[in-house]
Amino acid sequence: MISKSNKTDLSRRLFLQTSGLAAGGLIIGFYLPSVGQKALAQEGAPAAKPIEAPNAFVQISPDNQITIVINKLEMGQGVNTSMAQLIAEELGCDWKQIRSVSAPVNPVYNHTVFAGMQMTGGSSALSSSWLQHRRIGAALREMLKSAAAAKWQVPVQELKVENSFVIHPKKGKLSFGELAEAANRLPLPQDPPLKKEKDFKIIGQSVHRVDAAGKVNGEAVFGLDVQIPNMQYAMILRPPSPGMKIKSLDPKTAKSSPGVTDVIRFGDKVAVLAKNTHAARVGRDALKVEWDEKGKTAFSDESLMQDFRKQAAGKGPAAANRGNVDQLLKESTNNLKAEYEFPFLAHAPMEPMNCTIHFDGKTAEIWSGHQMPTSDRGAAAAILGLAPEKVTVNTVYAGGSFGRRANKISDYTSEACELAKVAKRPLKVVWSREDDMQGGFYRPMTFHSVNIGLDKSKKFLCWDHQIVGQSVIGGSMFEQFMVKDGLESTITEGVSDTAYDFANFRCHQVRAQTPITTLWWRSVGHTHTAYVMETMLDELAEATNQDPLKLRRSLLQKSPRHIEVLDLLAKQTGWAKKKVPQGRAWGLAIHESFGTVVGQIAEVSLSGGTPKVHKVWCAVHCGQVVNPEGAKTQVEGAIAYGLSAALHGEIKIENGIITTSNFHNYPVMRLPEMPEVSVSFVKTTQPPTGLGEPGLPPIAPAVANAIYRLTHQRLRKLPFSRELKA
């Protein structure tokens, strides 16, 4: 079923995959003149932006191969398939003729919401492209129909489109390939009609992923697999602690290490270049470097957390404040008080960071899994002293990301450019797993304290919440639009905007600083806020003697999507009867993130101090589901990723140095730990909302709530292993 790989194939595949241009016989040209831009500013449809250059997204060859250019990074979330489904649906093509390639950098591919750049992130691929991509497909379909109408001299109303053919009851049929050239000369239609949901043939189908075959036979080209002529492999020695400087360097032993071709110092980093990755690594290990201890600060993860606790004593600005919390706290006679600690977490995608670059002094070409190719290109151009147009950015498959590759300072791309600027030869910078885990960007450490006031009869009065967390966007271009009045949404999202209808509610935020570099990590602030909200909610249910699902339901009356999710979940599990096997317990959590509401019930047992999650039921409201099986895989994956962190995830720091280094001391979930996951979607015709991240936030609190039922222990410090002892 799958063809054999060899060297020639590989370079050809690479070209096709990265250039965004199909080989030979293109009929529809790459950029359509901007006829459409102004003509199509749709009045009365404010959500729809003008259709721009549809041909930048779709190419049709004379032999009916349809190439969809994907302006998002395929990093596992399935965009090469689901985004193509949007276009293919409206175009009316035969799905089997579709293939997907990654887009080059061009403003036509900019994000429809995060203006001014091409980017993948925030679980926004489908929601932000839903209208844009369908309108592109519809516009091209209308153009193909017009071309057929002209050829046959019939009114366009008599035509229909099916399986890549335009069909006339008397004249017969013409294939898209036959019509493309003529269609390409026609003006863009003003207002192409979009299909009704009931007529969808491709949207809503679990078509197989277009990248699946290549990913199981080894043909798929990831960043680490890119080969360019005369390429050398580079491993880089980086400062062991932030801010440390090189005092002295002796490169001799490294230089004479077998296979090493060069040792290059740039700034306070040293690169070893060699004929293969192993030789580069051995050479790097042989470098003799003395570090200046002056720049070093002796902190540990524990000292940072102590500092966070201290900062929690003074209140930061309020991210939410309604009712009269101070007064009600005075009146309360019972309180539920809790403090929570969350560690730094590494993304640890399966493919360690890497970047391949060819810089010849005048132009540069870069290959990597780019989540933000516009800013990666900008960073490269600035470092290399080139105009951005002189830098070609090739986006290839990423072996996972989970936020790591949406780097606010383009870290691994920039570093490769800094090296290439000095080295001036084709090279691939390879990060070892240790480099990746120790030199990376982390989910910030966070501290929460919560005080819930109850009256004498244990009736709920108010909720007071304080969060100390580190900025994930500080110092980046995102700061200007993601920080308002000193408040950063990533620290309190999921608490300050909670859907629970508390009349008296307050959430303060302290934006803390540490020497550790931080970044968004699958579901960002929701990774910890959902945990605190949902475990406290269970505590409140217990204190007020209510069923945890009913309590949530009563507090969510103004949020119909939450109610639908809870009802679906109750139905899925038979919550009312709660047939829980002996020795096991159920825990519930519900949380909204990225516009999507997810509820989960986890069935858990304990043996010794080790929790075993047997089963997770999951109900999801994410609008219309474009590819149901694909959507399920995203939720399953988010559950595995979140559970992995809850059970094991913790970055340790001693004396200013990250000591966690590889999967032996940063254990991650393996197959035997994976629960059976069963996902259901609320049926709706609302447009899609995010799905790459929203499956994650509820899993840890759902499991913690189940563990409480088994042990009567509230777990406040993550990962669970810190408090759950055998």
**Interface residues toward ligand FES, by CB under 6 A:** 76, 350, 400
Helix, strand, or coil (residue 487)? strand
Q: Give the phi and the psi of residue 50 in degrees, each rounded to 5.
A: -55, 145
Nearer to ligand FES, 352 or 595 (CB): 352
Nearer to ligand FES, 221 or 590 (CB): 221
How far is the C-alpha of 13 from the C-alpha of 541, rounded, in Å?
57
| Beta strand segments in 364-459, E | 364-368, 391-395, 427-430, 442-443, 446-454
Which option in ligand FES, another protein, none does residue 151 bind, with CB closer than 5 to 8 A by kind? none
How far is the C-alpha of 128 from the C-alpha of 72, rounded, in Å?
11
Contact 119, 111 (CB under 8 A): yes
Nearer to another protein, 498 or 573 (CB): 573
Q: What is the DSSP letter of 222?
A: B
Nearer to another protein, 327 or 665 (CB): 665
Contact 270, 263 (CB under 8 A): yes
Provide, rounded to whole angstroms, the least separation between the CB of residue 76 and another protein: 3
Nearer to ligand FES, 76 or 440 (CB): 76
Which option in another protein, ligand FES, none does residue 216 bind, with CB closer than 5 to 8 A by kind? another protein
Which option in another protein, ligand FES, none does residue 671 bind, with CB closer than 5 to 8 A by kind? another protein
Provide, rounded to whole angstroms, the least separation between the CB of residue 699 and another protein: 11
How far is the C-alpha of 318 from the C-alpha of 161, rounded, in Å?
56
Nearer to ligand FES, 195 or 433 (CB): 433
Which option in ligand FES, another protein, none does residue 185 bind, with CB closer than 5 to 8 A by kind? none
Provide, rounded to whole angstroms, the least separation between the CB of residue 257 and another protein: 9
Provide, rounded to whole angstroms, the least separation between the CB of residue 715 and another protein: 22
Provide, rounded to whole angstroms, the least separation between the CB of residue 220 and another protein: 6
Provide, rounded to whole angstroms, the least separation between the CB of residue 185 and another protein: 39
Provide, rounded to whole angstroms, the least separation between the CB of residue 670 and another protein: 5
Ramachandran region, residue 528 (left: φ > 0; alpha: ψ -120 to 50; beta: rest): alpha
How far is the C-alpha of 530 from the C-alpha of 394, rounded, in Å?
37
Nearer to another protein, 62 or 667 (CB): 667
Which option in another protein, ligand FES, none does residue 75 bind, with CB closer than 5 to 8 A by kind? another protein
Nearer to ligand FES, 240 or 667 (CB): 667
Provide, rounded to whole angstroms, the least separation between the CB of residue 433 and ligand FES: 8
3-state secondary structure string, 338-383? EEEEECCEECCCCCCCEEEEEECCCCEEEEECCCCHHHHHHHHHHH
Q: Please state, as a whole number, how many other Cβ atoms lie within 10 Å of the Cβ of residue 314.
A: 10
Bond before 426 cis per omega within 30 degrees: no
Tell me the residue number closest to ligand FES, measured at CB: 350
Contact 221, 396 (CB under 8 A): yes
Provide, rounded to whole angstroms, the least separation between the CB of residue 435 and ligand FES: 14
Which option in ligand FES, another protein, none does residue 225 bind, with CB closer than 5 to 8 A by kind? another protein
How far is the C-alpha of 497 from the C-alpha of 495, rounded, in Å?
5
Q: Crossing angle for the helix pair 526-543 and 548-555, nearest 10 degrees?
A: 110
Provide the token pair at 191: 């207002």
Q: Which residue has the tokens 């009851």?
A: 169
Contact 261, 57 (CB under 8 A): no
First and final CA of the chain: distance in angstroms? Answer: 50
Nearer to ligand FES, 350 or 503 (CB): 350
Taking alpha carbons only, the member of 323, 320, 335, 622 closest to residue 498 is 320
296 membership: H or E segment, kind and range: none
Contact 478, 408 (CB under 8 A): yes
Helix, strand, or coil (residue 483)? strand
Provide the token pair at 530: 């959902």
Q: Going edge to edge, which strands form the sheet with 446-454?
A: 318-322, 505-512, 460-470, 446-454, 334-342
Which option in another protein, ligand FES, none does residue 717 bind, with CB closer than 5 to 8 A by kind? none
Provide, rounded to whole angstroms, the least separation between the CB of residue 482 and ligand FES: 28
Nearer to ligand FES, 76 or 587 (CB): 76
Helix, strand, or coil (residue 264)? strand
Provide, rounded to whole angstroms, the least separation between the CB of residue 76 and ligand FES: 5
Provide, rounded to whole angstroms, the least separation between the CB of residue 77 and another protein: 7
Q: Give the phi and the psi of residue 19 in degrees, each rounded to 5.
A: -85, -20
Provide the token pair at 396: 């290839």
Taking alpha carbons only, the member of 9, 16, 10 closest to residue 394 is 16
Provide, rounded to whole angstroms, the least separation between the CB of residue 676 and another protein: 7
Provide, rounded to whole angstroms, the least separation between the CB of residue 596 and ligand FES: 21
Nearer to another protein, 219 or 547 (CB): 219
Nearer to ligand FES, 113 or 212 (CB): 212
Provide, rounded to whole angstroms, the least separation between the CB of residue 372 and ligand FES: 20
Q: Please state, as a whole number, how many other Cβ atoms lie within 10 Å of the Cβ of residue 23.
A: 11
Q: Give the phi and the psi of residue 672 in degrees, each rounded to 5.
A: -65, -20
Nearer to another protein, 216 or 298 (CB): 216
Nearer to ligand FES, 76 or 675 (CB): 76
245 membership: H or E segment, kind and range: strand 245-250
Which option in ligand FES, another protein, none does residue 213 bind, with CB closer than 5 to 8 A by kind? another protein
Q: Give the phi and the psi of residue 241 in degrees, each rounded to 5.
A: -140, 145
Provide, rounded to whole angstroms, the least separation between the CB of residue 2 and another protein: 6
How far is the C-alpha of 529 from the C-alpha of 123, rounded, in Å?
18
Which option in ligand FES, another protein, none does residue 679 bind, with CB closer than 5 to 8 A by kind? none
Nearer to ligand FES, 45 or 350 (CB): 350
Q: Crossing angle for the helix pair 411-423 and 373-384, nearest 10 degrees?
A: 30
Provide, rounded to whole angstroms, the least separation between the CB of residue 13 and another protein: 11
Contact 135, 86 (CB under 8 A): no
Contact 402, 522 (CB under 8 A): yes
Nearer to ligand FES, 599 or 675 (CB): 675
Strand partners, 450: 338, 465
Taking alpha carbons only, the member of 267, 263, 268, 265 closest to residue 241 is 268
Contact 245, 237 (CB under 8 A): no
Nearer to another protein, 312 or 635 (CB): 635
